[in-house]
């Protein structure tokens, strides 16, 4: 199954079809997953993207939430 097909099926099943995962959003999430896996540990990738998703669900922008997480990962926010 292709990624776009999977995301469409999952979005429909989760009643989240109103959420658009365009190429920019996918790259942002994949970059965030990569960075958290390398800077923390591998299991941090899905958990970090989950928490960013919660922040987005509560009104944050994906770019803003991902930037906050990335800054924390790179110790820029300390």
Q: What is the pTM of this model?
A: 0.86
Q: Tell me the two tokens of residue 20.
A: 């658009």
pLDDT at position 77: 45
Which residues lie below 8 Å from residue 3, measured CB to CB, with a gap of 6+? Answer: 26
* Confidence band of 52 (pLDDT split at 50, 70, 90): very high
Q: State pLDDT tens for residues 54-78.
A: 999 999 999 999 999 999 999 864 5
Using the CB atoms, write b or e for 48-59: b if 16+ within 10 Å. bbeebeebbeee
Q: State pLDDT tens for residues 22-49.
A: 999 999 999 999 999 999 999 999 999 9
């Amino acid at each position: 199954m292709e990624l776009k097909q999977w995301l469409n099926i999952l979005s429909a099943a989760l009643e989240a079809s109103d959420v658009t995962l365009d190429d920019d959003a996918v790259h942002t999430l994949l970059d965030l997953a990569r960075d958290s896996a390398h800077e923390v540990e591998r299991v941090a990738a899905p958990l970090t993207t989950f928490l960013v998703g919660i922040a987005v669900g509560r009104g944050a922008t994906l770019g803003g939430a991902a930037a906050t997480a990335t800054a924390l990962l790179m110790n820029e926010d300390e």
